[in-house]
Structure 1
Amino acid sequence: MKLRLATLALAALSTTALQPAPAAAQECTVTIGSVVSLTGPAGRFGQAAAKSIELAFSDLNEAGGVVGCKIMADVRDAQSQGTVAVDAARQLVDLQKVPAIIGGIISSVSIPIVTSVTGPAGVVQVSPASSSPTLTTLAKEGKTGGIFFRTITSDALQGTAAAKYALDQGLKKIAIIHVNNDFGVNMVAEFEKAYGRLGGTITSTTPYNPNQASYQPEVTAALDGEPEALYLVAYPGDGTTVARTWIAQGGPAKFLLNDGMNAADFIQDVGPKYLDDAFGTSSGTTATPSTEYFCEAYNAFAKDFDCQAPAADRAYDAAAIVGLAVAIAGSPDKAQIKEAIPKVVDPAGETVHAGPDGFKKALELIQAGKPIRYEGVIGPVQFDQYGDITGPFRLWRIQNGEVTTVGEMSASEVGELKEQAGE
């Protein structure tokens, strides 16, 4: 709540018509909108992401700001609900006249924002965590207006990576319980195709709705068929209840988990002793100097979160890319920012990194009319024509209450697996 009030207060000081000028010459603010889930099932993700956005803009301001002005975020709570998110986005676009929005965190929030608000308005939207393949489909169908970008890989790839990883860990007969929204349905669909064709057996697939008082019926249904393990596609809050119910009803303490379940709250609330045979996949990173900088800076800045928090690294890069795009555009003009986004990660540009020093170098190169290549916290990326990125997948497990990276699967390896599976 303090974060929202602070950002709203800053938004009241923003100007809508800004011209490039030396940083000390005028007091002005470029306001970027942000719609993230600060509450609801994805609340912890959104809180971590909001801190990352705040840190990235603070670093840009320390480096001199953009177009001669400070850059600030007007952060609104999506409450993990699409209708709430759309209302928040409309306020930012229609009333605050923001030229870009960072968010949402979950696909069921990002999709209605892009189809109802940012797409029709031509306002750039960059999501750090919405991974549904539906967003790619919308772009292919021309329904996003070319304004949607994301700093996370699509579940079309992650579901395949998870299937291979599960089999490699000996999880050959598995039940699935998943959140019944666009994210959960699409992740499971990709997993099912790959897992079955690679030799695994799915005993049942059971959807659940968020915020139920009990998940006993879903767990009872999933236990039918005597599965050896559970693939749980969920958010930490609901996922904790499902996992505890699964264990209480005698389900085997072997789990495959999605990226968002890599959370300290989930581990502590379920009980570390029940999760020593828990494995998971996440959209991975290629280490750069930005990665090292972020981990140290974020841990000191965010206090209640660490740099491994889901969505934290990708939210910093989303904010950095938006801020540098404003600098390349030369003004907070939505159309020019849209054209500038790919230029931030120009493969022909001079490499720059995260943090005040890296941003200072980037801003100097931009002012000199030279191209840049931002190699961020998640590594060097490029956006394709649909606003997607490709990248590696992190393979991890939980043991003794700690999450440990045990391997990596490249995007090319996943592509080969999809071909092998006949996709």
Structure 2
Amino acid sequence: MTKTILQLTTALALVTMAGAAQAADCKITVGLVMELTGPAGEYGQAGAKSVEMAFRDINGAGGVRGCDLVTDTRDSQSQGNIAVDAATQLVQVKKVPVIIGGIISSVSIPILTSVTAPAKIVQVSPASSSPTLTALGRDGKTNGIFFRTITSDALQGVAAAKYAIDKGFKKLSIIHVNNDFGVNMVAEFSRAYKALGGTIVSDTPYNEKQSSYASEVTAAMAGEPDGLYLVSTPVDGATVARTWISQGGVQKFLLNDGMNSPDFIESVGADYLREAYGTSSGTSPTASTEYFTKNYKEFSGIEPTNPAADRSYDAGAIVGLAIAIAGSEDPAKIKDAMYKAVDPAGTPIFAGKE
């Protein structure tokens, strides 16, 4: 979990100055567009609970200027068009000043380009790692309103390539989800992997939510690879992995961060994943990470190791602190306050009661 920073020592007072009895007198609503169902449903459910936990903790400290932070949560169903409809309603009808979401890049990008950037509404994604988002910002197409609490796949792809070589994967087949996330992750990986001397035997995209991936697996198995690099989500990824195993594919896997899922392991079978390796964005131990790890499951019923969990808590906490610093629900002021909330020159503020 990233460390939440405040530039001004007085900002904490803005969060805690009101008593708990006063906090219920008014509410500040933040929009959530999360993948509660569909291929990324496991991530979105964890993400939504994490934001709710962050808001609970801020509200327990007195809220923001005497107001409780609350969420208006919508299910993107892991689909960009549905996410755009949900975000449009939150912005145009509910008049929310901030949207947290989506989880996957193929949801976050259409929200950004179709809704939040044109309306100049702050958007924070806890888990969308596509380099396309970096490019949109660099090209001046975000109006400076997009933030994320995860690193770009440009970093994860390079790390995965080195890890693959270190683990003895000299020849790999790749199967990846055919969306912005999957395409960009594989592009970054392939560039680095080849530079390190690795050989890609095959690169096979797949479309989400299919009942069978037999043809994709058959294509990927040609060329006797040392293993399979599977860039996927837990539900579809389990279907691909089971098919790979049943067709006699070598039981050696390299997996992306989103595959770090108990559901994936249970669906495939731990015995078949003894030589499965993965990459994920790292975290530095802090009082916040300790607090989150100890308390998240009791609050949510979900394991704190879920890939979207800790980063979504960060997103909720940073948004809450930014609203406090802004002293307003004006999106322009909140946007400016987002930079102040994570300024390394500020005073560290950690999760929990202490």
TM norm structure 2:
0.94
CA distance in 1: counterparts of 2:49 and 2:167, whole angstroms:
35
Map of 2:141 onto structure 1: 143
State the distance in 2 between where 1:222 and 1:215 align. Answer: 11
8 Å contact from structure 1 (residues 34, 74) kept in 2: yes
Distance 2:347 2:51 in 1: 24
Whole-Å separation in 2 of the counterparts to 1:318 and 1:269: 30
Work out whether 1:162 is the aligned partner of 2:165.
no
- Mark the runs of 5 or more structure 2 residues left unpaired by the alignment: 1-15
On the 8 A contact 1:67/1:331 being kept in 2, the answer is no
Find the counterpart in structure 2 of residue 185 from structure 1. Answer: 183
Match of 1:210 in 2: 208
Q: Could you tell me how far apart the structure 2 residues matched to 1:194 and 1:182 are?
A: 19
- Which residue of 2 is the match for residue 286 of structure 1? 284
> What residue is the counterpart of 2:37 in the other structure?
39
Q: Residue by residue, what CA displacement relative to the aligned partner does 1:5-42 show, whole Å, maximum 9, x if unpaired? A: xxxxxxxxxxxxxxx98444571000000000000000
Structure 1 runs (4+) greater than 6 angstroms displaced: none
Q: CA deviation at 1:103?
A: 0.4
Q: Would you say 1:231 and 2:229 are equivalent positions?
A: yes
Cα shift readout 1:175-212 (whole Å, capped 9, x = no counterpart): 00000000000000000000001011110000000011
CA deviation vs aligned residue, 1:232-257 (integer Å, no higher than 9, x gap) = 00000000000000000000000000
Q: Secondary structure at the match of 1:297?
A: helix
Counterpart CA distance in 1 for 2:280 and 2:265 is: 16
1:242 & 1:107 partners in 2: Cα distance? Answer: 21
Aligned letter for 2:72?
D
Considering only aligned residues, what root-mean-square deviation do their CA atoms show, in Å? 1.2
1:269 aligns with 2:272: no
Aligned partners of 1:250, 1:291: CA distance in 2, in Å? 41
- For the residue of structure 2 that corresponds to 1:245, the secondary structure is helix
SS in 2 for 1:65: coil
Which amino acid is 1:135 matched to? L
| Distance of 1:21 and 1:62 partners within structure 2 | 12
User: Among 316, 320, 323, which residue is 1:323 paired with?
Assistant: 320
Q: Tell me, what secondary structure is at the counterpart of 1:282?
A: coil
Task: Tell me how far apart the structure 2 counterparts of residues 118 and 243 of structure 1 sit (CA, whole Å).
Answer: 37
Corresponding residue for residue 314 of structure 1: 311
Q: What count of residue pairs does the alignment treat as equivalent? A: 337
**CA distance in structure 2 between the aligned counterparts of 1:25 and 1:75, rounded to whole angstroms:** 24
Q: 1:125 aligns with which of 116, 123, 126?
A: 123
CA distance in 2, matches of 1:144, 1:34: 19
Summarize the alignment of residues 410-421 of structure 1 with structure 2, pairs less than 5 Å apart.
none
- In structure 1, distance between residues paired with 2:66 and 2:300: 27
Per-residue deviation, 1:272: 0.5
Distance (whole Å) between structure 1 residues aligned to residue 22 and residue 298 of structure 2 = 31
SS in 1 for 2:337: helix
2:48 alignment partner, SS class: helix
Q: Deviations over 1:134-171 (max 9, x none)?
A: 00000011111100000000001100000000110111
TM superposition score normalised by structure 1: 0.78
User: What is the DSSP-based 3-state SS (H/G/I as helix, E as strand, rest coil) of the residue aligned with 1:292?
Assistant: helix
Which structure's relative contact order is higher, taking Cα pairs within 8 Å and 6+ residues apart?
A: 2
Gaps of 5+ in 1: 1-19, 359-423
2:252 aligned to 251, 254, 259, which one?
A: 254
Does the residue aligned with 1:283 lie in a helix, a strand or coil? coil
Percent of aligned pairs with the same amino acid:
67
